[in-house]
Amino acid sequence: MFNISTILIAFVIGGRGLAAPPVIEELGLSDAQVQKIQQIHTKYQEQRIDLRSQIAKKRLQLRTLWMDKNPDMNKIEKLVNEIGNLRTQLMLVGTRERNEIRNVLTDEQFEKWQKIRWTMRRPPMPDGMRRYGAPSGDMHRRAHRRW
């Protein structure tokens, strides 16, 4: 029987929506590997939470600046750059986490992990549709301009 930590680890390894027990079984992870991956995930999850919080606060500040009658473009540009830097840090956190998890896996487990991750990716939307069903092209741009 799988405990909650096993399920969380499989979620990290396999990506969103992937059933945890099959991933654990497919990769043949030992209890020690599961525990190590859980520690890695916890460490990086805390960093992700902090960075996302900082990004949300900066976006709120940016929104407030845009609401001014005469927005200060220097302050706006500075905030946009700060948000960009925080997003870069967030991507690096994910990269570091994947690398540490990769180092816990054997070469065979890593190869299986790669296959599982690629097979679970969502296929592209048909007929040029975008995420959430938004149409592509001019129709999307015209609808967006109305705001």
For residue 22, the enclosing domain spans: 4-117
**How far separated are the first and last CA of the chain, in Å rounded?**
52
Mean pLDDT across the chain, nearest whole number?
Answer: 77
In-domain check, residue 8: yes
In-domain check, residue 26: yes
Look at residue 103 in the predicted model and tell me its pLDDT: 93
In-domain check, residue 113: yes
State the sign of the Cα–Cα–Cα–Cα dihedral 136, 18, 101, 53.
positive
* Number of compact structural domains in the chain: 1
Mean pLDDT across the stretch 52-60? 97
CATH code for the domain in which residue 113 is found: 1.20.120
What pLDDT, in 10s, does the model give residues 70-119?
999 999 999 999 999 999 999 999 999 989 989 999 999 989 888 877 76
Look at residue 59 in the predicted model and tell me its pLDDT: 97
In-domain check, residue 139: no
CA-CA distance, 32 to 25, in Å (whole number)?
Answer: 14
In-domain check, residue 128: no
Answering whether pTM is above 0.75, one says no
